[in-house]
Structure 1
Amino acid sequence: MAASALAGALRKLSAADRECILLCAWAELSYEGIAAATKVPIGTVRSRLNRARRILKEAARAHLNNIEETDHGRAQAIA
C-alpha cells in the first residue's frame, strides 16, 4: 500500500522534479551531477529537489494519517 502511495505521489510531480529526485535517490548523483545530467544550473536542481521532497513528504504524511484513521490500532484479520 505504501509503495502505491509513493508511486502516485511521484506521478504527480512535474517531469523535471521527478527526474531530479530519481537521479538523486536512485542514481545517487550529487547536486553537481544532476545539474550536469539535466543541463540546468545547480540552483535549479536545489529548487526542484526541495519542491519534490516537500511534495513527497506531504503525500507520505497524508498516507500515514489515512492509515491511522482507518486502522484504529487493530490487527488486520486474515481471511
Structure 2
Amino acid sequence: MLGAALAGLSSGDRDVLLLVGWERLSYEEVAQALDIPIGTVRSRLNRARKQVRAALTVKESADRG
C-alpha cells in the first residue's frame, strides 16, 4: 500500500520525502545532496506528503467499502 503510494510520486518528490523521512536528513542536507534550493525541498516534501496521504486515504476507504 505504501509502496504503491510512493511509486505514484514524481522522482523528485519521492527523493525528498525519502531523504527527509527515512534517512532523517535536514532540509539543508537534502538541498545540498540534490543541488536544489531549500524552498524547493519544502515544496516537494509538502506535495509528496499530501499525495501519499491522499493515496492512503483512498485505499483505506476502498478497503472499508
TM-score (norm 1): 0.78
Matched, 1:36 2:37: no
Structure 1 residue 12, shift from structure 2 partner: 1.1
Aligned-pair distance for 1:43? 0.3
CA separation in 1, counterparts of 2:63 and 2:8?
21
| Aligned counterpart, 2:49 | 53
- 2:64 corresponds in structure 1 to 68
Percent identity at matched positions? Answer: 46
CA shift for structure 1 position 45? 0.3
CA deviation vs aligned residue, 1:15-35 (integer Å, no higher than 9, x gap):
110100000111101111111
Highest RCO, 1 vs 2 (Cα 8 Å, sep ≥ 6): 2
In structure 2, what is the equivalent of residue 14 of structure 1? Answer: 10
How many matched pairs? Answer: 65
Instruction: Say what the alpha-carbon RMSD is for the aligned residues.
Output: 0.7
Distance 1:25 1:43 in 2: 17
Could you say which structure has the larger radius of gyration?
1
Q: Please state which structure has a larger fraction of its residues in helix.
A: 2
- Moved segments of 4+, more than 2 Å: none
